[in-house]
Structure 1
Amino acid sequence: MMARNGSPSEAEIRARIQLLATWMHDAGLGSGPVVLIGRLTGGSQNVLLHLQQGDREFVLRRPSWHSRSDSDRSILREARVLAGLSSSDVPHPQFIGACSDVEVFGAAFLLMERVPGVDADRALAGAANARHGGESLGLAVVDSLATLARIGVPAALSDLGKPEGWVARLAPRWRAQLDSYSQLPGYRGLDSLGEVDRIGSWLAANCPSSFRPGVVHGDFHIDNLVFDPARLQVAAIVDWELATIGDPLLDLAHLLATWPDGRDAVAPRRRLEHLPAAAEIIERYADVLGRDLTDLPWYRVVACYRLGVLLEGSKARADAGQGPVDIGARLHDLAVTLFDRARTLIDS
């Protein structure tokens, strides 16, 4: 058996792949041996295996070997979203299948088509003209986000979330999550976060009265995109496990909060050169969609607040002995910066 609290050996992975081949055959998803091509990078939250069956290449995605108890639900949610996007023009990995039986691969998993492409760093490194490449890639990112916003709510995803009251729930939800960290033994970080109560109060007082529902990715940033390096276009948006139904402006706000242009955004990665500035991103989004962006300042504040709370969770778990201390400290510093950024946006 593959332990959920420890990384498996190569022999265990090979045995699981054999079980996977049997499951695929029984599910009508393909027959024949499945071969491990390699492991893909995808952060610490999930395991990504590049597999091949015959001449077909695909990717298995499952929770990390050290996953929390709710991780299976996240994987199955992502599978549902990918399936629901299958008839859209949103760039995404094509869904193959999903399995909730932990006996097959030690946890729930999904299978999706492999999308050829590279990350943003390599896409820009191959650009013939660095300045033009940065501008083109940045606008392509905005265009892919606009494509998602344009589809509205597909019928297959109509019950993915609860749009009624969604916007009013955002700030209280993340404040409750931040408060919950105090229950973890050893965590004393709230006092170092500054005036987080002021952010929550401002969000409550300025909450938009309505919004136009659409699919919200929930974690839209440049490292969750696969690029076609030849055309500097987005080949796929990945990591859909936080997707819901809400206002797509939250995705735009999250993109701005994490935009790695070295200007005024906060990004947990190194900067990229020659990207469009925030004002250009906003202008492009408005032009492509033709929608009113009056509420964008509110969403920019809530995006910083939300992301800061999520990152602070790593610090809280590290203080409780449930995660790496160095990563917790680094993400805590980013959380502090995000809360500072939220207050700056409020004051501006």
Structure 2
Amino acid sequence: MNAPTSQPTPLSFLDLVAVREGSTVAEALAIALRTARHAEALGFARYWLAEHHNMAGIASSATAVLVGHIAGGTQTIRVGSGGVMLPNHAPLVVAEAFGTLAELYPGRIDLGLGRAPGTDGLTMRALRRDRIEREEDFPRDVAELQHLLAPAEPGQQLIAMPGAGTRVPIWLLGSSLFSARLAAAQGLPYAFASHFAPRMLLQAIELYRREFRPSAQLAAPYVIIGVPLIAAPSDEEAEFLASSTFRRVLGILRGDRRRLQPPEENFIAGLHPEERAAIADFLGAAVIGGPDTVRHGLARLLAATAADELMLVCDIFDPALRLRALDLAVAARDALTPRP
């Protein structure tokens, strides 16, 4: 574990831009921008948006467009993808899109890359057409992206314009050992998707740190972990608000995706034990509760992982209560920081 420091652990935010029941996509996009501005005011390090396709209730499919929307509506916070699902795109297209963003918002754009399709088989075929993804394609495409975002070399025939020379920071995302090993070999920062797949969290980050090789982008390992967060003034209210997340997770597990649902009293109590266990496994890294519970939950995660940064995922139905949850998270994080 890292030694205690007087600097608080950076907090960031991952947004899937949930469309709430009874609301619209336009309202979801407006809520995302308000949330990003609030996170910026609280000193969050970055605000990422995730690529998903053909999923009811998620409006983040055009990820680069949303990155530009959020970056244009904020001033200092880093904005990026968490992530772009690289198998769905040609590296040149990604380099041009994020190179353009980097020129518009210098020093503020992150490019997080994932290896999964981020959708179902039918939609995957619509995105990729007849392309069949092989295991060796992702490392090759990452290397091509790095080359396209680096300064153009004499005689280089394929140049991303915009993109060449922007050196947009690349992050690798994952929920298994594959991307952890690749991030280590390439000397890239690593974000583990523990907000929905926490089972291999400790094994993946241990492998990443052990095998890390310094690079021009990064001198030492850097780990972000995803943390589902539901914070409220009391444990009881937090558990009630978390039922919206529980309902979303159960829908994912059942293959019945819907818009984000309002909270429901005693939702968990009405489920079968197997369903409760599946939700608990999905949300194994979650921090749900009042101020003391949140503080202890964040401390537990940091003690177990020594994460360099926590990326919060907060699916609270009422947008104002989601902003309040971020306030409470910052207070809990600050209470963990040793006084100099």
User: Given the two structures, how large is their TM-score scaled by the length of structure 2?
Assistant: 0.30
TM (norm. structure 1) is 0.30
Higher relative contact order (CA 8 A, sep 6+): 2
